[in-house]
Structure 1
């Protein structure tokens, strides 16, 4: 288990660094501090390319300008005010204040963006350790993530037991340090013609901190304090401590180096109910003694992590600049699995006389390094870069056993290794082009992209999947491990080229067109295109819209992954389900077909309105049609399946099988609304905003009989169709107050336990209130107190058929989570 004493020893280096920097700060003269402040205000505004971008929100606030965008367009003068597609720009301060108990980037994005969904998982195997996020209700792997404009690698772990993102291995947002963020640009529109695969729902570009001077030290502590109705107890848990330090240096006239280090420790939470003992367990005295107890653990995993980043640039001459950046994380986490009862077939009383609850363990290691050269070459501006990313995940289980090995069974197992690699090289060229009939030059951009992707899995301990001579289930409980025969190693090469032309056709009308072609070594070619435009009808009112084609190549994991997990099978009873590659002998035996790429057609139409300088509104409607959508098949099970698998394929102890399939065509329709106002109020400065997302996904065709109700539910109704975020910020002098009210829409959970037993429940919409007060104690020190979910709200209680005999009173689907109110205090020192 992760304990606080271990973490405090781990945090000691950061503490010492903070104390050293505090002492240095005390020796600074006020004049030096003022000079540094001036340097900070001058440094960021000098460049607008990814990797050295200014904080757009800060520039807009101080200079009255609209932020210059670097995502979703190749034009260099595109601002937020004249964007042709919907874009969100989140400042550093907004992200840091919204991170919450996770202290993670994805949690901050969900708090700030109504179209972004990041539900919590529990008792979900690998998903307890790597959570998936969604944009516009689409799959987690249908959003492209960039860091400083460069493609981010995906997580190595494939989530097979989760609800959200089941069967995907998308980018793990939480491997990017919060303290590294300068701003985030989120393009809510298809961008495959500009960036290639995965950008069906949109693009999230995390732009790293490039301040050329100054030091920031931040520390935060918090915990959950909640009245938990299912047990009638007041709970205090999930204690979280974090600390970070970042420092910037000026290098030459325009160069810089910014670097930082973070540490975080979070205790587990537990929101399980009182056990009622499942029907299939024998009513023996020892089993009956477990009734009314909290035998399960539903909540946050215990987590300990370290993160670091750097971002820098060096001027080689007046026209050429070398740049580099990188992020690193190491994270260890402990999740929960289902309880095994004292007299069940999954227990050896000589080892666990009172039953036991296995704990899954995850060791996540993540690294991205990129370097490049940018500048001017004649009439062309160029950016040439090399990008390397990797993610490694070691999966294990403790407090477990392999019953078939008898009393000699280990109680801790290594279940498997997972690794993902991305190596890419890019060349981007832009230049102005004079076109006949245009009053100003157009912008032409062309580029080449070559990359290699690799995915590999390694076997677990032999004892984790061995079949012993004792009666009882084989393999580690809450496992079993990945067998040597299931280990895989896959790779592919991708080459892409694009052209992009942006022009002002008249004074009030601008348009952009892009065309891209990609070749994949493993499945063929993909050509995508995009056309977007904006027409200013008046200085205050404009129409905008876009048409695009996009695609997502099947991930290497979806093509070759094979693993066995423990899941709720027929009647809700735990059973072993094996996922196999679609083109494997076993997959073909059960009717699987080779995977094809997903392809989408996106269309959007919107308006922007700014009736006054202090008030602006945007409204964008969209439709996204996805063909050949990839999902996991339903569990294929029958009375003879276990014998068939054992006799024909040598697979023992498996009661169900599934595989990836191009099963469905879907259509997602929706709209995004953002309106905001700022001005003087209540003797201070006030900012008010309302952001809302509406979307609905329906299945257009259902061409595969192997797709079940649970998978269709995952794609259509398991995500909120509406979310509203109302924010009020007030500042006067040294004080700042913020209130954020979020309405999370309803979600629906469907289980299919066979024989027509399909428990279904719709969870009602729920309101969440977040509050924060901030005090600028000194010029350098800022103190904050806050509460997330201050009114201690929970989702609807699950019905008896879904609550798993009282043990899981709340489901994981609602974005409000199931932990209750979280209170925190934060201190930040800047100098």
Structure 2
């Protein structure tokens, strides 16, 4: 296959190294980087090391290297400040499947209700996977549900862990943002980072190994607030007016402190058998920002906070994946791989520097808002063999497999003060995050069983074809069957056509099916009022005509050309179309007098002022193009590598569901998907992204220059009352630079900068900038923190 070479590869490779055998998207052993029937990016350890400098985590590195990967920053977004969601090909964060060493990765437990991107999802937390543990990453940019099951609509990201049998590394990095912040006329230095990484390899027996390591990182928060102008609805008292011109808000990066541990191992047993095991663990604490409460606002008590207060959300995230298995030859023909895979995530959500105004001076200032937990236990068996078929010169490859999985999701209530309605006049519940109430605590589980068959063969010397079928059964919603047909035809040894057709699906997560949340406060006349997120398929939801969630179903089609005119150059172009039916979103908040009466009279829930719920509310169609090229040449006594990667995608909404007849009868007839969510699904992420890099290596030096053009994006807001301002943010260029010097064997010293031009997005217009406090949109593709500089030292032995 003459497909793309590693996008933006920074390290020099020989032609033989480029013929690396892939493990993602194909089960044929002779499918290398250059002859697979669908596009696969291969990112090396050195690629990731350089690209992770800005964000310090894996998803940030993937966004730097892959133009079709989007990892927007979140701020003042509740749980979204602590677990950021990523997108592939403009689809939802939970529509990409993540594997580690080919084994399914578990999702995060927290449900993001306030995030801008990925609202209502609980996707994989990329930040919980240590960058130093990775040997390479294979990114399959094509639907792969028939091969891997649920979630693989946009593609598959397979993270291959380091398996070096000897040697080790010690690495330390220091960095900080240093920027000219024009909204306040300040030169700011913040977001300081400190990172330490270590790893070591050991031989076990003749062919076994143990590779293990640790990472510790601390990152300070950033603040890109403008000068406060005091919103007009706040009273014009001397105390409130004294806040004008100050930086009262804190849009920016959260403060984080993390420790990560990992190992990867293999041990040769008798015969051809090999036992293997690997694990990753992270404990991460983070602090996010919330909106400022003014001194003389109804939300504040002057006796507690004389000058007002800005609450801070806190997250305590604990993440574990542990896998053990056995692989080898079974008889003369079959190879097997049997494994047991445990994934767990626990997230404790908290709040500090806040208060429950209704409790008066008795209110605590720190709150436990609730606990979230998820667990995934998977047993799998994969069998492969070569199969001689009549008329074929080479044997075909047949793969069969079975999987059994048990999933669990649970939530626990926050402390009583976080949701209590006290005797004092004022907002009830903890400011910036009322806690989960006991009645909303859930514990749900399900069983999943899957079977697949995969057959690939060279039908002629020029034509390779692959067919896959899969069947999955979920105990909570039923069965799903998927299929895929892909192929590659070589016109010449240097030019090939590739394409694929597939059906794919994504099962609704347990969090989306069962999550429940209630906000209680005083309404008009001091009467208690509630806004509820209803569990999908529950009694109240059924009475409102809201059915239980069903699986998202997708149809994928792709067609591409790959050209390798010389051993040192390659170019690929791939077009794709992805139709998603019954896409799951969180509905708008719905309310009416008749709804309030129904809930009070029929369900004994008085005072419910509004509801929302997860629903299969819309169909979408995403179309796009991916272009990747690379050229290697000798230059200046060394080797110069040019890399180009461009991505274009556009998502259109189709068949937006209206309210059910039951809701219409209650006076609620508007579409379930609102203005902001429509914008998030279509235009909030850039449709285009272009990456151009040049890396030179020679002697003791390596130099890298990388230019990224982030395409324009449009944001639309719904502030209520029919006020829906929007703004288009212009495209921006970003320049990253890095220089590496190796003064002695094993020693490497690096200086670099991300966004060294100190570029910012377009300034937000007055209707969107929240009275000067948010001068830049937090979802801007180029970010809102300005330039970041770093120094790194590494010793390899």
TM-score greater than 0.5 by the shorter chain: yes
Q: Distance in 2 between matches of 1:604 and 1:493?
A: 32
Equivalent residue number for residue 72 of structure 2: 119
1:333 is the counterpart of 2:286: yes
1:484–1:64 Cα change, 3 Å: closer
Equivalent residue number for residue 184 of structure 1: 137
Q: Which of 773, 791, 796 matches 1:825?
A: 791
Equivalent residue number for residue 414 of structure 1: 368
1:64–1:178 Cα change, 3 Å: closer
Equivalent residue number for residue 359 of structure 1: 312
1:461–1:751 Cα change, 3 Å: same
Segments of structure 1 that go 5 or more residues without pairing to the other structure are 1-55, 570-574
Segments of structure 2 that go 5 or more residues without pairing to the other structure are 1-8, 524-528, 659-670
Q: Distance in 1 between matches of 2:638 and 2:630?
A: 17
Choose 76-85 or 631-640, whichever is displaced more: 631-640
Equivalent residue number for residue 356 of structure 2: 402
Whose relative contact order is higher, 1 or 2, with alpha carbons under 8 Å and at least 6 apart?
Answer: 2
Higher helix share: 1
Q: Distance in 2 between matches of 1:673 and 1:771?
A: 23
Q: Distance in 2 between matches of 1:587 and 1:468?
A: 30
Equivalent residue number for residue 767 of structure 1: 733
Q: Which of 540, 562, 570 matches 1:616?
A: 570
1:480–1:391 Cα change, 3 Å: same
Q: Distance in 2 between matches of 1:261 and 1:586?
A: 48
Deviation readout 1:696-739 (Å, 9 max, x if unpaired): 00012112322111111111111110000001001121011000
Q: Which of 454, 470, 482 matches 1:500?
A: 454
Equivalent residue number for residue 286 of structure 1: 239
Tell me the secondary structure at the aligned position of residue 744 of structure 2: coil
- Asked if the contact 2:730/2:761 (under 8 Å) is kept, the reply is yes
Equivalent residue number for residue 4 of structure 2: none
Cα drift, residue 582 of structure 1:
2.2
Aligned residue pair count: 770
- Asked if the contact 2:208/2:268 (under 8 Å) is kept, the reply is yes
Q: Distance in 2 between matches of 1:81 and 1:62?
A: 11
Equivalent residue number for residue 296 of structure 1: 249
Cα drift, residue 754 of structure 1:
2.7
Tell me the secondary structure at the aligned position of residue 702 of structure 1: coil
1:243 is the counterpart of 2:190: no
Cα drift, residue 657 of structure 1:
2.8
- Asked if the contact 1:479/1:566 (under 8 Å) is kept, the reply is no
The 5 A counterparts of 1:59-458 are 61=14, 63-378=16-331, 379-458=333-412
RMSD: 1.9
1:790 is the counterpart of 2:745: no
Q: Distance in 2 between matches of 1:802 and 1:687?
A: 43
Q: Distance in 2 between matches of 1:185 and 1:804?
A: 42
- Asked if the contact 2:585/2:615 (under 8 Å) is kept, the reply is yes
Tell me the secondary structure at the aligned position of residue 193 of structure 1: helix
Choose 100-109 or 387-396, whichever is displaced more: 100-109
1:587 is the counterpart of 2:541: yes
Equivalent residue number for residue 603 of structure 1: 557
- Asked if the contact 1:386/1:426 (under 8 Å) is kept, the reply is yes
Deviation readout 1:80-104 (Å, 9 max, x if unpaired): 1011001000000110111124310
Cα drift, residue 566 of structure 1:
11
The 5 A counterparts of 1:509-548 are 509-548=463-502
Tell me the secondary structure at the aligned position of residue 75 of structure 1: coil
1:738 is the counterpart of 2:704: yes
Q: Distance in 2 between matches of 1:311 and 1:474?
A: 49
Tell me the secondary structure at the aligned position of residue 406 of structure 2: strand
Q: Distance in 2 between matches of 1:763 and 1:539?
A: 44
- Asked if the contact 2:755/2:787 (under 8 Å) is kept, the reply is yes
Q: Distance in 1 between matches of 2:86 and 2:706?
A: 21
Q: Distance in 2 between matches of 1:60 and 1:682?
A: 18
1:629 is the counterpart of 2:583: yes
1:183–1:723 Cα change, 3 Å: same
- Asked if the contact 2:18/2:33 (under 8 Å) is kept, the reply is no
Q: Distance in 2 between matches of 1:542 and 1:91?
A: 25
TM-score between both structures, scaled by the size of structure 1 = 0.90
Deviation readout 1:271-305 (Å, 9 max, x if unpaired): 01111111221112211111111110000111000
1:358–1:654 Cα change, 3 Å: farther
Q: Which of 790, 797, 803 matches 2:769?
A: 803
Q: Distance in 1 between matches of 2:722 and 2:778?
A: 24
- Asked if the contact 1:710/1:750 (under 8 Å) is kept, the reply is yes
Q: Which of 654, 657, 667 matches 1:700?
A: 654
Tell me the secondary structure at the aligned position of residue 64 of structure 2: helix
